[in-house]
Amino acid sequence: MGFKAFHSAQATIDGIETAHMIRKGQLSEENMPAYKQFMALAG
């Protein structure tokens, strides 16, 4: 991916890991869709 800043690479990896956790149901809220969970965590 060719990141020039460590912060950019870290933010990308954090987002990917968060998406995987939501998809696997590890952060699931019963009445909240996955995209809203991601937005709540990503802020």
Over residues 7-43, the pLDDT tens digits come to: 888 888 888 888 888 788 776 667 777 777 777 777 6
Q: Give the N- to C-terminal CA distance of the chain in Å, as an integer.
A: 24
C-alpha gyration radius of the chain = 12
pLDDT band at 1 (very low <50, low <70, confident <90, very high): low
pLDDT band at 5 (very low <50, low <70, confident <90, very high): confident
Nearest-CA neighbor of 17 among 9, 5, 36, 6? 9
Task: List alpha helices for the chain, DSSP H.
Answer: 6-23, 34-42
pLDDT of res. 38 = 74
pLDDT of res. 43 = 65
Cβ–Cβ under 8 Å, residues 26 and 41:
no
